[in-house]
């Protein structure tokens, strides 16, 4: 995989628009911004709006997964991640090429 990392919401928006990635792993707790508000913004993008977005989050209480999926996320991976299964979990959300 080629990975681009954003330190905050502003960087995430810039990288998203510059590169239109194949997949976004979105932390739901970002400095200064709620992750779902960025997901909503990405969904409105005319070019990248269909990009799969996976919530990668420590929010793992009952109902959190459903809330993120209803908010526009394609998938959900709770933290802490399992290094043995993480790549296969991510791969399932990548579009076929």
| Cβ neighbour number for residue 45 with a 10 Å cutoff | 14
Average confidence (pLDDT) over 8-27: 93
In three-state secondary structure terms, 56 is: strand
Q: Is the pLDDT of residue 32 over 80?
A: no
Tens digit of pLDDT for each residue in 42-75? Answer: 999 999 999 999 999 998 899 999 999 999 999 9
What is residue 34's predicted lDDT score, i.e. its pLDDT? Answer: 87
Nearest to 26 by CA among 58, 54, 1, 59: 54
pTM (two decimals): 0.92
3-state secondary structure of 27: strand
The pLDDT value given to residue 97 = 67
């Amino acid at each position: 995989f080629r990975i681009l990392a954003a330190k905050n919401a502003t960087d995430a928006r810039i990288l998203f628009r510059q590169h239109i990635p194949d997949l976004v792993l979105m932390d739901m707790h970002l400095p200064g911004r709620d992750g779902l508000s960025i997901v909503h913004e990405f969904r409105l993008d005319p070019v990248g709006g269909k990009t799969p977005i996976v919530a990668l989050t420590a929010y793992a209480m009952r109902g959190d997964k459903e809330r993120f999926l209803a908010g526009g996320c394609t998938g959900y991976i709770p933290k802490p991640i399992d290094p043995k299964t993480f790549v296969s979990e991510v791969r399932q959300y990548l579009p076929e090429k």
